Chains A and B, each alone.
Chain A
């Protein structure tokens, strides 16, 4: 689902233009507000949705279900270090999530992966990703899904 901008809320600050990894958030030449110039090239990373200080960016569903009233909106509260999401499904179901902001300042904390140990074959085969759980800032074991719990018909 690609992103779009509410023109009444956008103040043309440029945060979405700055952060978009696909370089598709641009400034409109007539009204100097942000717009998604190529929704079909949107990676759906929602970086712009999160970065917008005015909650002006929303997520547009595809034409087959978009008119049915879903919405994905986000509130970023830097002072609390939180990102809250509200997902409204087309049948009216609502889900709210709160996550920590884990963004780091530009150009700092670049991981020096080349200096790290190479993963052994056992680590490569495991469900744990490289640098987990340490990289997640937790030393707890992460939850695993056993193969026996997979749905019938899913084979690995």
Chain B
């Protein structure tokens, strides 16, 4: 299963051009959904206005070198390892889901655009990347959805309560899970059976929901969050700090101190 390129097997019955068109359509849906979201929420306008305001209260002009250093730190810490989630289960689940999704999507694009004809030979690494990516996404996403969702963890709602905010994570987990099941059934070489075709349909539908639902879901957070982290770190470096007080110039253990506890005291 892990060595099979599911798209090259599919290419025996579906034209690679159709598969490539589907991927392009998904990309266009993401762009359209994000643009609609930006226009509706006016969040990018707010973001730039806020950055302008912050610049006025800056106490220091950052040099290009300092800017590059802040940007690199943001990429390494806030973006690559989602440091804002602190050290703990939420961060681990997010990192698993994030890298799983990146691997899954990258391998999907590569295999569909370069190795989807029945004659082509797929390098063994890409199907492994695709399957491992899907598996990580399912594990990270399910861990989050079943155990770490804040409305369940902190607000005591039951785990089976589905809200609009679940659209993204559920569609993401569903697309990876259905992809894995489809690939598994394909690898069993079930001649003319319905099983793998049904899961192929589920895989397509879940992808349509995931990429077509950008306007209604949290999908676009993957574009906004890096921008917000960058603005936050630049504001910290130029002294404007979004009106936050400076770091306390107090001796260690100035107060009694307390380690933050997990938010589950409902």
Taking Cβ atoms with an 8 Å cutoff, the residues of A that contact B are 7-9, 11-15, 17-19, 26-32, 51, 53-55, 71, 73-75, 77-86, 88, 96-106
Choose from A15, A82, A102, A106 the contact partner of B250 (Cβ within 8 Å): A82
Q: Which residues of B contact A79 (CB under 8 A)?
A: 252, 257
A sample of 10 more A-B contacts (CB under 8 A), given A26-B155, A75-B246, A79-B257, is: A8-B228, A14-B154, A15-B260, A31-B165, A73-B243, A79-B252, A80-B257, A81-B255, A81-B257, A82-B248
Bound state CA distance, A13 and B154, in angstroms? 8
A contact residues around B155 at 8 Å (CB): 14, 17, 26-27
Report the minimal beta-carbon distance from B236 to chain A, rounded to whole angstroms: 10
Residues of B38-74 at the interface with A, using a CB-CB cut-off of 8 Å, are 43, 47
Query: Do A29 and B164 have beta carbons less than 8 Å apart?
Result: yes
- Surface stretch bound by A, among B110-118, B145-153, B171-179: B145-153
Asked if B252 contacts A11 (CB within 8 A), the reply is: no
- B253:A81 contact, CB within 8 angstroms: yes
Cα distance, A105 to B262, chains bound together (Å)? 11
Out of A51, A86, A106, name the residue touching B245 (CB < 8 Å): A86
Kindly supply a per-residue 1/0 record for chain B positions 207-222, scoring 1 wherever the CB is within 8 Å of any chain A CB and 0 otherwise: 0000000000010010
Which of A86, A99, A104 is within 8 Å of B243, CB to CB? A86
Residue of B nearest to A88 (CB): B243
Stretch at the interface among B6-14, B21-29, B84-92: B84-92
Closest 3 CB pairs of A and B: A100-B255, A14-B154, A81-B257
Given A8-B228, A13-B150, A29-B164, does the pair A82, B254 have CB atoms closer than 8 Å? yes
Task: Determine whether the beta carbon of A30 is less than 8 Å from that of B255.
Answer: no
Question: What are 12 pairs between A and B in contact, CB < 8 Å?
Answer: A8-B228, A17-B154, A18-B264, A28-B165, A29-B164, A30-B165, A55-B244, A81-B256, A100-B254, A100-B256, A102-B255, A103-B258
A83 to chain B, nearest CB (A): 8
Pairwise interchain contact A73-B263, C-beta atoms closer than 8 A = no
Count B interface residues, CB 8 Å: 45
Cross-chain contact A96 with B151 (CB below 8 angstroms) = no
The complex places the Cα of A32 from the Cα of B84 at a distance, in Å, of 16
Are the C-beta atoms of A17 and B256 separated by less than 8 Å? no
CB of B256 within 8 A of CB of A102, answer yes
Q: Does B266 sit at the interface, judged by CB under 8 A?
A: yes
A72 — nearest CB in chain B belongs to which residue?
A: B243
> CB within 8 Å of A: which of B197-241?
218, 221, 224, 228, 231-232
Q: How far is it, in angstroms, between the C-alpha of A91 and the C-alpha of B251 when the chains are bound?
A: 32
B265 at the interface (CB under 8 A from A): yes
Is B192 an interface residue, CB under 8 A from the partner? no
Q: Is A101 touching B255 in the complex (CB atoms < 8 A)?
A: yes
Chain B minimum-CB-distance residue to A18: B263
